[in-house]
Amino acid sequence: MDHARTRAKESRARKLRRAELLLIGAGVAATLIAAAYQYLGIRSTLESSTAASLYAQQQEIDRIFADNVDLQPYFWHREELPDASASGDPAARREAEQLAGRAEAAAHRILDHFAHLKYQMGTQAFTSERADWEAYMRRSFADSLILCRALRDDREAFGGTGPDSLWGRYAEEPCRGT
């Protein structure tokens, strides 16, 4: 009789232990599922925030060209800036120098934007529309001698010339010969 009671107690203890383990397993599974949903939500929020920041920067650049229409040919049609030293007229020379200064400032603002884009894509914080942004950067270099020269002259500030730099990834081929 004692033997039967002992076996019954052991059987109940095993069943209780199994039930406890199942409950613990279910709790762990529920926690992992909740963590995965939280991760996806955080990731989505981060990507949305990053995209908003990048689009705001792009709007600033668009505003530069809306406010300075005379800069457009040097960034969109691969035109050369006028040579200030070629003019004998001091007023024309000053105007050409001012145009070159505004174009250089715009080029560096665009390069900063591109460096930020590249950084965000490198951290995997911004993955949607990556191919579109990369094509935009390559096309921008292909369309602008001033942008190519600004990066060429200041490559070290933008990651050097390696294959993962702005120059190596987006500018080397379209800027060849500038």
On the question of pLDDT at 137 being above 80, the answer is yes
pLDDT single digits (tens) 141-170 = 999 999 999 999 999 999 999 999 999 999
Query: What pLDDT score was predicted for residue 169?
Result: 95
d(CA 48, CA 173) in angstroms, rounded, equals 32
Long-range contacts of 167-171 (CB under 8 A, 24+ apart): 169/118, 169/134, 170/114, 170/118, 170/134, 170/137, 170/138, 170/141, 171/138, 171/141
pLDDT single digits (tens) 31-90 = 888 888 887 887 777 777 877 888 899 999 999 999 999 999 999 999 999 998 888 899
Query: What pLDDT score was predicted for residue 177?
Result: 87
Query: What pLDDT score was predicted for residue 125?
Result: 66
Which is more confidently placed, 127 or 122? Answer: 122
Enter the tokens of residue 6. Answer: 């002992």
User: Are the beta carbons of 77 and 142 closer than 8 angstroms?
Assistant: no
Query: What pLDDT score was predicted for residue 34?
Result: 86
What is the rounded average pLDDT of the residues 9-15? Answer: 84
What is the rounded average pLDDT of the residues 107-129? Answer: 87
Q: For 128-166, b where at least 16 C-beta lie within 10 A, e where not — what string?
A: eeeeebeeebeebbebbbbbbbbbeeebeebbeeeeebb
pTM over 0.85: no
| Mean of all residue pLDDT scores within the chain | 90
